[in-house]
A and B are shown apart, each in its own frame.
Chain A
Amino acid sequence: MIADVPRRAPSSPLAAQIRVISALFMRELLTRFGRSRVGYIWLIGEPLMLALMISALHWASGSHLPNDLPTFLFYGMGYVPFLMFRSIASRGAAAVTSNISLLFHRSITLLDLMIARNIMETLVCMTLVALFVLGGMLTIGEIPHHPGQLILGLVLSALLGHGLAMLLGSLQVFVEFTERLVHPFTYILMPISAPFYMVETMPPNVREMLLWNPLVHINEMNRWSMFGDRIVPHYDLGYVMIWVLGLNLLGMAGLRAARPRLSMSD
Chain B
Amino acid sequence: MIELENVWKRFESRQQGHRYILRGVHARIRRGDQVGILGRNGAGKSTLLRIFAGVEAPTRGRIRREMSISWPIGGGYGIQSSLTGIANARFIARLYGMPLQRTEEFVADFSELGPYFREPVRTYSSGMLSRLLMALSFAVDFDCYLVDEALSTGDARFANKCREVLEVRRANAAMLLVSHNAGHVKKYCKTAAILRNGMLEFYEDVDEAIAAYQGL
Contact = CB atoms under 8 A, between A and B. Distances in A.
Interface of A: 2-8, 11, 16, 19-20, 22-24, 26-27, 30-31, 35, 101-108, 260, 264-266
A6 B109 contact: no
B82 A31 contact: yes
Interface of B: 46-47, 50, 53-57, 69, 71-72, 75-80, 82-84, 87, 90-91, 94-99, 102-103, 106, 109-110, 138-141, 161, 164-165, 167-169
A260 B80 contact: no
Nearest to A20: B95
13 contacts: A3-B165, A3-B168, A5-B102, A23-B95, A24-B95, A30-B83, A31-B80, A35-B84, A35-B87, A105-B78, A105-B95, A108-B95, A260-B57
B141 A19 contact: no
B91 to A, nearest CB: 5
Contacts of A23: 91, 94-95
Given A264-B50, A264-B56, A101 B78 contact: yes
B102 to A, nearest CB: 7
A130 to B, nearest CB: 27
A31 B90 CA distance: 13
Contact of A31 (B50, B83, B106, B167): B83
B85 to A, nearest CB: 13
A5 B98 CA distance: 9
A84 B46 CA distance: 39
Contacts of A3: 164-165, 167-169
Give the residue among B47, B80, B103, B164 with the most A Cβ atoms within 10 A.
B80
A102 B54 CA distance: 13
A217 B174 CA distance: 57
Contacts of A105: 55, 71, 78, 95
